[in-house]
Amino acid sequence: MVAYQLSIFAENKPGRLAKVTSLMAAGKINIRAITISSSDAFGVINMLVDEPDRAHKILTEAGLTVSLKPVVAVVIPDKPGGLDNLIQLLSREEINIENAYGFVLESWEKAVFVVEIDQIDKTVAVLEAEKFETLDTEALSAIEPFHYMKY
């Protein structure tokens, strides 16, 4: 399954991220994960949100330069070697990772590793064949990160 990440072009200066988060707050959009990569005077804010299409609309209407980009969100065990299994597989299949980030779903249980790649269809097929769980937007928005509630 494929998920969608929002990428926002932003100049590297105070207030740019604040503008994005305030728009998300006002629009009641939940940010599941966020990373920022910057290069000197400008950068890109990457976000996984619960409603990417609506968030895209809000940001675009506010005049921001936004792109909706397909990514693969893979569920991995949150334990030593959990990530390694996945990466070794991608390596064997010669899949190159352009950008990646991860977040924990349930402490010591589950984590999500999000990868930007150019061979997206191949990656999804390989992961499914190896029984990796991938999340789409709907699944991402439904995930319950509050592990303590299970006690």
Partner 1 sequence: MYWKPELETMERDTLEALQLEGLKKSVTSAAKSVFYGNQFTKINLDPSSVLSLEDIRKIPFTTKDDLREAWPYGFLAVSKDELVRMHSSSGTTGRATVIFHTARDLESWTDLLARSMYMAGMRKTDVFQNMMTYGLFTGGLGFHYGAEKIGSLTIPVGAGNSRRQIQIMKDFETTAIHIIPSYALHLSEIFEEMGVDPRRDTKLRMAFLGAEPHTEKTRQKVEEFYGLRAFNSFGLSEMNGPGVAFECQYQMGMHLWEDNFFMEIIDPDTLETVADGIEGELVLTTLKREGMPILRYRTKDLTRIIPEPCQCGRTHRRIERIKGRTDDMMILKGVNIFPIQIEKKLMEIAEVGNNFLIILERDGYNDHMIVRVEVLKDFFSGDLKQLEALRKRITAELQSDILITPRVELVEPNSLPKTEGKAVRVIDNRKD
Binding site for partner 1 (CB under 8 A): 5-7, 9-11, 37-44, 46, 63-69, 98-99
Grouping H, G, I as helix, E, B as strand and the rest as coil, residue 141 is: helix
d(CA 45, CA 37): 7
d(CA 103, CA 127): 19
d(CA 98, CA 95): 10
- Residue bearing tokens 């030593």: 80
Closest to partner 1 by CB, 7 or 78: 7
Least separation, in Å, of the C-beta of 104 and partner 1?
25
Least separation, in Å, of the C-beta of 118 and partner 1?
10
Tell me phi and psi for residue 45, to 5 degrees: -95, 120
Closest to partner 1 by CB, 22 or 107: 22
Least separation, in Å, of the C-beta of 108 and partner 1?
33
Closest to partner 1 by CB, 8 or 105: 8
